[in-house]
Structure 1
């Protein structure tokens, strides 16, 4: 915080002290300090102008410092107010604190010991605290999240407009109410239990619940306080749209998988009949038989890929920690690799659905083997936030559509393999990019992967 933007009103019936204090704060401590010589004049000045802090003498005729503070509080309940008192007794200090002063100093120490630097530090401190508090209150008041301060017994001490609106009331009306009296009883009880758990454990508790057809994600944060009552702050975010999108996506995935299963079943039956008939067919044209056989095999591959594609797009619900090398080696065994070789330099574990992770590697390996004329060397290596699969083949000339359905440069490719890779990556929340390997081949990079050594 820059010191120069602090405006301070110095109040003292001693013109010499008021003017000298204001002048010293302005010239030596880079503040804009203005002096007035009575409580009445100060009250009028505060009506006319904005100040960040008031420094006032305690004993003044007509209106003393505490009477001035009372007047100030009627207009501004939080303006920082520092009291300068000639009395160092506990009764005066206690009275000042009860009245709500931000701080108090002995006036003689400031005057005789010339501790204006100490006074300036106190002003800067209380103004900084006040500004921080106001920013926080503004954020809370304007937040779309429902925010409330709640006791262990479920009593709402304060709430922001967003939470009050959800409950059909106002923040002022909500203060002092029990959660069980203002919302669905079962939901309220679960939230009060979460408040108590947060207070007892001293840790943030997260829950999700529903209220009046809306879905909420809640955080209960224990509040450190000198109050006698233990409390927690509730931050409740409306996640209805996210939940509904997730549910709709799950319904779509279920319909898609069901459709793919039905189609693949209905296609496999005539395909098997055709394959069996071909085996029984007694013809001399071996080339024609081989051509039909290849076509039937290709149809079988397409059916398998379509079914896999339908299943791989589902969001990953329960990932596991699996080593990259074990996934890669198992996937390599699933692929007809001919004379290709595999090198795994990646270390550590990744959080992944093991089955779909294996499918991802298998499709990338198959892509490397099938889209290069000669034997290739495939490498699986580590990235700072993921891993890569690279080969030393001829590379991919146009990478703009490689992850699109049906795109293939191989004569016998289905054009679905890399689309499956893209779906698996998306289901895990990973990034997927195609670049060129150091040897000029293809390099697929998976990023945003949760990993550990």
Structure 2
């Protein structure tokens, strides 16, 4: 049972009002009847209280039902109103209908059929409630359609747009009136799939919903706006039925162009990340990063600048094609925005970089700017000649690319450090093997010989055995010195600096015991070298010439186009032995340790130089050191 119906009965006949009240409430238990004796009394009640229906007499003394109806309709056009008349009058009926009467009864008929009037009142009130509910629902729906973020359209069964909400202009590029002039398959839409191919009519969303009677969800396709812009839409729709047939279709259209663009760029960034992972050098990583910034993120003007200690700042390692075309020169940053980003490790975004206080070049024609730190390695920067040219998506994707590049740079650094440590460990293991070999043979043998000579001295008293044992121990001391020099070579200073070859040669010569030998230096040159390593090279080459060159040997230091040489006038080194002499433990004399020239080779390799042996002009040996960087 529904709610109570409040009825206002207006009539000047008190007996009629009493009888009508009892009869109507008995006939329908929803009715609650109040009475008024005149239209003025009714108007007063209607101002103070709410009623669902009014029943009024027409021509009783002091009562004018039609005038009351017209006055009531001016305030409430939809309130049910039943007019009671004393006789049938066609002109009165027409006048009442024109005034908006809900129903029309003769008083004498009502007295005998109160139930019929009660039902009519109930029906009129129920109909009004339903109409009001529909109106309210329609109003709410209209408000929802106005505010919903999607474009909502309705098409009739022929596929013609009959409704479009305000959002249609942003999604379809058309005014609402222009939308309703089109059909679902209008050629001007240029509906295509994501590959750019035309979609057959039977597969279009409207046709599928009408043909199957089933809803469709997230059907993605492209359309073309009147201005030529291509947009990507996600379409969802459902049929509205009239009986068993589809009467119309309602669609929700969402512009996902930007989302698809972001998704596409994310996929391509993921592919670029794999390339970064496979890269072998920092230069390759920089190139991949710059290329991805240009081709995937549309950062046409970009560059990867990495810290370079020798350059004193962030040197350009890779830049985009467009940057190469427009830049007068590539800058190494030691101040400005890029340097601040590198030092702080924070991302910077500028709608207009000319407003930045730390601008490197105040005369730049760049306006927008994005600056991303690459950890301790450097920065990725992107610029545009247009102000406010980068959005939140650009900033987000740029951060992602920079993070991936930083990870790749870290990996290369770790791998380089690991290789260095592995190589150092391998070298150390080789030296340990050499040590073991020397200790097992070269040191044990002279010790055994010295022990035997001392035993002979004890047995015979011949002091010549003592002298020979002393010589043997001296050789051991020399061997130990060379061993220590050879072992410590990789732990000595590695920093290079400009060095005078003449001064190094003269200084080294003074430390040798070579009174019978002569040193000749042909000029001078400043080279880039580690001083202690250069001294070791010269000392061992001088010692080799003194040991093997014979009495009064002359040693000459001269210069080549990309290095220097040390030559002597001794007997020289046979061609078939020139490679073997650099091997550890190799010696052509009994008093040699076999480490001198091995030390030379190691010191030369540490400089990334090369050493070769040829015959000197005097027929002796000549050691040529090449690949040397000049400091002049």
| TM-score between the two structures when normalised by the length of structure 2 | 0.36
Answer with 1 or 2: which has the greater Rg.
2
| TM-score between the two structures when normalised by the length of structure 1 | 0.48
